[in-house]
Structure 1
Amino acid sequence: MVERLAITRLGSRGDGVADTEVGPVYVPYALPGETTEVEPWPGHPDRRRLAKVDIASPDRITPICPHFGVCGGCALQHLATARYRDWKRALVVAALQRAGLNVPVDDLIDAHGEGRRRAVFHARRSARDVLEVGFAALRAHHVVAIDRCPILAPALTGAIETAWDIAEVLASTRKPLDIHVTATDVGLDVDVRGSGPLTAPKTMALARVADRRNLARLTRHGEIVAQRTPPTLTVGPAQVVLPAGAFLQATSTGEAILAQRVVAYCESAATVADLFCGVGPFALRLAERAKVTAVDNDEDAIAALRRAAAGTPGLKPVAIQLRDLTRRPLGQAELKRFDAVVFDPPRQGAEAQARELAASTVPTVVAVSCNPTTFARDARILVHGGYRLMQVVPIDQFLFSAHVEVVANFKK
């Protein structure tokens, strides 16, 4: 059954929203001001599938990717740039307002740069037993096979073909695969997950793929299958040998912009704690001018940071600590020796650590977040503890998606 809906606004995931008598109805790929024909979405009474746009928004533009609308990776390739930027900044404003914080928010900074430097490709068998390699479909349990992705950086050239090669080698295992590909300074670093134990012939076949594709390294669940050269990445003044499947900011431009803000906010600090530090995108840059204590619960990331700091001349001391800050946040007694604290937690935020910071006397706190909702919650805790929220900057390194990064400066 086809129904007509008038779209009034964009939701937080980028879906068009029709405000009806029975509540909001979400229509992916529809835009405000449009009149649409929609069809039911089985199992989702508050969602509809877009069948036809009868009256189009003047802000509707042609998507840049032929897979848009099928692949679930991008939400808003069809929205004019100015409106897209307004909507993404508004996500941060709305999250802060829900937390009771009515503060100025800077204009959105475009940090897409050359594009994404890491991607996870999924390899699955379709319902018709056809191998598909690509990204997940929108809110569905199947993979959309792709042969290109325009938001990937040129440094990921060959990544899709490599993922297909790996999936074909492992097709007979009939296991769902996640193929993590990272662009490094010396080539692609690939980690395959989900295959289960491999036979010697499969391992050799994968090694041949690595050789043919000139990969820097190929691993399975972190275990080396083949390595041409250690996969290194320039991070500030240092060279970091990445752990397999290492977390990095999505774009190199995004990392650089975030780091520039973090370093500037900590400019007068002689001692800095970098919490949830990962492989050190902030710690290694901060150590050019301050003593740094870097803390994370990822043992491989911490080890990589330790080696990079030790091998970089001219840095001030970098103390490394392996610790789960979600369960054991740094307490007030530990925090009092720092002039500044930087925290960049996973999407769930850093509520426990924020409470300890709120009760501390640390003069400067810098928050970095990929989730405006948990950022706003943690910011409210800091503000209620006496901190002033000096600046909030939304940063867009997840082009065309509903994800937005935030960096903020707090003073006490």
Structure 2
Amino acid sequence: MSIVLRLAARGDGVTEDGRHVALTAPGDEVAIDAEITPGPHHVTPPCRHFPRCGGCQLQHIDDESYAVFIAERVTGALGAQKIPAPELRPAHLSPPRTRRKASLRAERIGNRVVIGFSEAASHRIVDMQECHVLRPELFALVAPLRTMLLPLLKRGRPVEVGMAIADQGADLLLSGVSPEGLEASEAISAFAQGHGLARLSIDDGYGAQAWWEPAPVTVTLGGRNVALPPGAFLQATQDGEAALVAAVGEAVEEAENVLDLFAGLGTFALPLASRAKVHAAEGARDAALALKVAGGERVTVEHRDLFRRPLDAKELARFDAVVLDPPRAGAKEQAPALAAAGPGRIVYVSCNPATFARDARTLIDGGYALQWVKPVGQFRWSIHVELVALFTR
């Protein structure tokens, strides 16, 4: 027998003798023939689709082990860059059934439609009969979507179903669908109206267009209603968003002039605007415009591709603090200028510990110290990790 000591980055257990064993928890015993004896941190997965469904990888471990896993994803990435572990704040875990944004896949197979997440490392769709991560009002749309999509889908051509919760209700975006004729159009409108959707948009390859939107769709950020473009980025859960916003607010402290890079719709810019002047830079045109309208006098907005045109030392000089929330690729192009001429406080929000650690190495080499990291697990039971980190000079 060999004991599972920890979980590796992909969620498989690592035993005392160095074996990687899938679907094990810390404390499990693994025999030579790979038979698993569950330990104190191994729990019964709540969902019938686990482990086939790629939406979750870690339903078999308890919350204590899950919090440790999230923290170790961060410290492991930092260690790979030879960065000592900083103060590690307790990991925040979003509760089950709180995901307000998700991307499902749908496909017609014979005379039925399957819809759900894909299997891990596969294009096969797990036909969702239950879900313990989606908010109930989103899951409630899955069954009626099968009926509505059946005449619209062509066999062998999967489509994407983007789901989100807006202020006005559920917001759906169907990508890869090309409705033809009055009957199809009426069916879509009847579905949207009958299920009280805030909006139903379709992207047939030429950009998303709203087919049903009885009132302008918004999302509340920092107490302000912000126009929500179809498919726009939102934090996965409101609970996780609140944890990230609180950590960013603490890290910024009393800064009076704040720069928000990769600002999106204003997840951080708008809450910070209640106490500081904020300049926000965002590369997506629709998001930048929505933030500009919502920001008022306290938020100035610049539509700018920070990968092609990062801010230089002169532009950075007028800010007391910088907040940045780049996509998974990180901020490789912006980090050198920040390291050379950034302000006294940099608050880095990341959804990828590896690219965060790479950029952290650049900042530290430029004279910054990594003070603390707050891990956040918004994507319940997945290996996806987010964090907030504070760097100071």
TM-score computed with the length of structure 2 as normaliser: 0.91
> Matches of residues 251-262 of structure 1 in structure 2 within 5 Å?
251-262=237-248
SS of 1:190's equivalent in the other structure is strand
1:62 matched to which residue of 2? 44
The 10-residue stretch of structure 1 (5-14 or 237-246) with the greater mean CA deviation from structure 2:
5-14
Instruction: Measure the CA separation in 2 of the matches of 1:101 and 1:192.
Output: 43
8 Å CA contact retained: 1:7, 1:35: yes
Instruction: Measure the CA separation in 1 of the matches of 2:157 and 2:211.
Output: 18
| 1:349–1:335 Cα change, 3 Å | same
Matched, 1:190 2:172: yes
1:325 matched to which residue of 2? 306
Q: How many residues are aligned here?
A: 387
Instruction: Measure the CA separation in 2 of the matches of 1:299 and 1:337.
Output: 25
| 1:228–1:218 Cα change, 3 Å | same
What are the Cα deviations for residues 334-386 of structure 1, in whole angstroms up to 9, with x where unaligned?
A: 10011111000000100111111000141111000011111111111111111
8 Å CA contact retained: 2:225, 2:294: yes
Residue type matched to 1:398 in 2? F
Residue type matched to 1:56 in 2? P
Instruction: Measure the CA separation in 1 of the matches of 2:132 and 2:361.
Output: 38
| 1:7–1:387 Cα change, 3 Å | closer
Q: Identity, % of aligned pairs?
A: 39
Q: Aligned-pair distance for 1:326? A: 1.1
Matched, 1:250 2:233: no
| 1:260–1:358 Cα change, 3 Å | same
1:14 matched to which residue of 2? 11
Instruction: Measure the CA separation in 1 of the matches of 2:292 and 2:180.
Output: 32
2:211 matched to which residue of 1? 225
> Matches of residues 228-243 of structure 1 in structure 2 within 5 Å?
228-243=214-229
8 Å CA contact retained: 1:218, 1:226: yes
SS of 2:68's equivalent in the other structure is helix
SS of 2:75's equivalent in the other structure is helix
Q: 25, 28, 36: which is aligned to 1:31? A: 25
TM-score computed with the length of structure 1 as normaliser: 0.87
Residue type matched to 2:266 in 1? G
Q: 368, 371, 391: which is aligned to 1:390? A: 371
1:110 matched to which residue of 2? 93
Can you give the 5+ residue segments of structure 1 that lack an aligned partner in the other structure? 39-51, 311-315
Q: Aligned-pair distance for 1:264? A: 2.2
| 1:96–1:236 Cα change, 3 Å | same
> Matches of residues 283-322 of structure 1 in structure 2 within 5 Å?
283-310=269-296, 316-322=297-303
8 Å CA contact retained: 2:107, 2:114: yes
Instruction: Measure the CA separation in 2 of the matches of 1:56 and 1:81.
Output: 16
Can you give the 5+ residue segments of structure 2 that lack an aligned partner in the other structure? none
Q: 344, 348, 355: which is aligned to 2:336? A: 355
Residue type matched to 1:35 in 2? V
8 Å CA contact retained: 2:113, 2:147: no
Q: 82, 102, 111: which is aligned to 1:119? A: 102
Instruction: Measure the CA separation in 2 of the matches of 1:192 and 1:37.
Output: 48
| 1:226–1:17 Cα change, 3 Å | same
The 10-residue stretch of structure 1 (238-247 or 167-176) with the greater mean CA deviation from structure 2:
167-176
| 1:17–1:198 Cα change, 3 Å | farther
8 Å CA contact retained: 2:108, 2:150: no
